Amino acid sequence: MTTDTHKGKKGDVLLEMKNITIDGFSDEKWHPIIKGVDLTLKRGEVMGLIGESGAGKSTLGLAAMGFARPGCKITGGSIDFDGHDLINATEDELRALWGTRIAYVAQSAAASFNPAHRLLDQTVESTLDGGLQTANAAQSDARELYASLQLPDPDNIGDRYPHQVSGGQLQRMMTAMAMSSRPDLIIFDEPTTALDVTTQVEVLVAMRDIVERFNTAAIYITHDLAVVAQMADFIKVLRYGEEVEEAETRQMLSAPTEDYTKSLWSVRALEKPENISNDTVLEIKNVDAAYAGTVKVLHDVNIKIARGTTVAVVGESGSGKSTTARVITGLLPPLTGETLFNGEPLPPALKDRSKDQLQRIQMIYQMADTAMNPRQTVAEIIGRPLEFYHGLRGRKKQDRILELLEMIELDQTFYDRLPSELSGGQKQRVCIARALAAEPEVIICDEVTSALDQIVQEGILRLLLRLQKEYNITYLFITHDIAVVQAISDEIVVMYQGGVVEQGPKSVVMSPPHPDYTQLLLSSVPEMDPDWLSNLVDGRG
């Protein structure tokens, strides 16, 4: 284990940020995005940062490291980290702290790992660079962290490359990498966004245990109020780069003082009436699938999707949800079985499908960071399917792009922005617009709301439902968010270990009695109660 020579006493002030102002560059000028925010954090404390997409949560969290993203600059205030002036520190001084005493767990693990290096090597890199452990000790410790974070085959999973594990597993790998040096401060930026509810429980328990065991301070950035209730000692609410209020977690949950905070607390799932139809638009029949032709990841999967309905596919990380989507889109030809579209078999491989077949089935990917070309503007990203499928150019294409931006609640100022200038929620909305640009019959939504706060999430779900009603679009909605399932689904498919456990109308699947696995999923949904996680763990023994 790492020797903690720099650790102070629990309760000592570790981080003090005063009157922080940060500007961002867009539309050829600088704009304030953090406006005079204070933050004080003691050793062993967890501060939850919440607020809408674009509120400045991640920007403030990164500033706690003395870091500003490209296109941003810290323009005022002071940041003291255990006696280190992070505002005036040199790059070498900051790099000596990053990865060893201050660690960061990003929202998108897929965009943060080097695809050319094995996961174990990346996990221990900071620990070795900082001279904190020998290679053997660091690797042994990393395997212990993998086990504590409920990663499968913890002794060997580190030998894989990033593309060989699921999104949820990769997110846990990034958490292990941050924890490996036993830092004084960890900034968790939506660390459980990509996780299913059963895995999220295990990861939250592991993170809380590490924080308590090693007297680590943490800033926990999230839009999930129920999750922050389990992790944070205090909650700070941000909006438009300003502090709305801050309070101890129990006080904040029971009696928020500001109207905006109350509005966050009061967001409720939509209650879409269940729509039952016998007009099948898409059918997956007897599908087996494997990656690299080796171990099967899908086993005799059968799913029917009715036109104009929403079928939600739920299950833990690695259950086969996204693999099923890849089979449907032709990205992974099945070993056996077929996909029928309007009663006609689709060519198994994407390269063999016609332009018309490609247009009619579109996909919105889970990780917006890796789904967009970072060098293309929003207009170029949305405009490509308009040209490819509809032949739009010039003013007609421009007008349609602006219409699509309006549909996803982004104004025309986003037209020339690059992905790096967007928040996580804004990136995902651009991906939604790109799919809509093709005017498809079926849209496969792979965790499309997982990066969005509740207010924006509700707006996106209402948008998707309105589009479904107006254009009779069919959705296959892959998600681990049971609240989203309850809000928008007509039918539910529950998957586990590559097979279908249960499927049927929402009213049937959500009503007891449940199969054991469905019951486990439903019982793992966090509640707005700071004691929920502890009680759940105690109840499961």
Read off the pLDDT of residues 493-509 as tens digits, 9 standing for 90 and up: 999 999 999 999 999 99
Are 470 and 350 in the same domain? yes
Tokens of 162: 């990033």
Residue 195 has a pLDDT of 74
Reduced to 3 states, what is the DSSP secondary structure of residue 488?
helix
Are 231 and 148 in the same domain? yes
80 touches 86 (CB < 8 A): yes
**Nearest C-alpha neighbor of 355 from the set 325, 327, 387:** 387
Are 207 and 351 in the same domain? no
Is the residue at 223 inside a domain? yes
Tokens of 412: 């025309």
> Which among 192-201, 220-229, 349-358 has the top mean pLDDT?
349-358
Supply the range of the domain harboring residue 139. 46-52+91-264
pLDDT reading at 484 higher than 60? yes
Is the residue at 111 inside a domain? yes
Which of residues 521 and 300 earns the better pLDDT score?
A: 300
Q: Please tell me the distance from the alpha carbon of residue 272 to that of residue 329, in angstroms, as a whole number.
A: 27
Summarised one tens digit per residue, pLDDT across range 361-400 is 999 987 787 889 999 999 999 999 999 999 999 999 999 9
Residue 477 has a pLDDT of 95
As a whole number, mean pLDDT of residues 398-410 equals 92
Number of structural domains in the chain: 2
Which of residues 541 and 214 earns the better pLDDT score?
A: 214
Name the strand (E) or helix (H) holding 250: helix 249-254
Give 439's contacts (C-beta < 8 A, 6+ positions apart).
Answer: 359, 389, 390, 471
Residue 115 has a pLDDT of 92
Domain boundary among 203, 231, 264: 264
**Nearest C-alpha neighbor of 158 from the set 384, 246, 172:** 172
Is the residue at 475 inside a domain? yes
Residue 1 has a pLDDT of 42
The three-state DSSP-derived secondary structure of 63-129 is HCCCCCCCCEEEEEEEEEECCEECCCCCHHHHHHHECCCEEEECCCHHHCCCCCCCHHHHHCHHHHH
Are 219 and 150 in the same domain? yes
Domain boundary among 206, 235, 264: 264
Residue 300 has a pLDDT of 96
pLDDT classification of 541: cutoffs 50, 70, 90: low
Is the residue at 519 inside a domain? no
Are 246 and 107 in the same domain? yes
Summarised one tens digit per residue, pLDDT across range 54-89 is 789 999 999 999 999 888 999 999 999 999 999 999
Are 166 and 304 in the same domain? no
**CATH number of domain containing 500:** 3.40.50.300
Q: Is the peptide bond before 513 cis (omega within 30 degrees of 0)?
A: yes
Are 480 and 352 in the same domain? yes
Comparing 9-13, 277-281, 335-339, 468-472, which segment has the lowest mean pLDDT? Answer: 9-13
302 touches 280 (CB < 8 A): no
Residue 4 has a pLDDT of 47
339 touches 304 (CB < 8 A): no
Are 322 and 357 in the same domain? yes
Are 117 and 225 in the same domain? yes
pLDDT reading at 3 higher than 60? no
Tokens 């739009």 identify what position? 392
H helix intervals, 372-449: 378-390, 394-407, 424-437
Summarised one tens digit per residue, pLDDT across range 194-206 is 677 877 887 888 7
Is the residue at 61 inside a domain? no
Residue 5 has a pLDDT of 44
Is the residue at 270 inside a domain? no
Is the residue at 170 inside a domain? yes
pLDDT reading at 2 higher than 60? no
Tell me what the pLDDT averaged over the chain comes to: 89
Is the residue at 113 inside a domain? yes
DSSP string, 113-176: S-TTS-HHHHHSHHHHHTT-S-HHHHHHHHHHHHHHTT-SSTTTGGGS-GGGS-HHHHHHHHHH
pLDDT reading at 451 higher than 60? yes
Are 450 and 324 in the same domain? yes
As a whole number, mean pLDDT of residues 456-478 equals 87
Cα separations (Å) of 257 from 253, 261, 262? 10, 7, 8
Residue 94 has a pLDDT of 95
Tokens of 12: 């000592």
13 touches 42 (CB < 8 A): yes
Q: Please tell me the distance from the alpha carbon of residue 51 to that of residue 55, in angstroms, as a whole number.
A: 6
Are 175 and 224 in the same domain? yes
Tokens of 63: 């500033």
Domain boundary among 224, 240, 264: 264
Are 231 and 351 in the same domain? no
Summarised one tens digit per residue, pLDDT across range 268-296 is 556 778 888 889 999 999 999 998 767 78
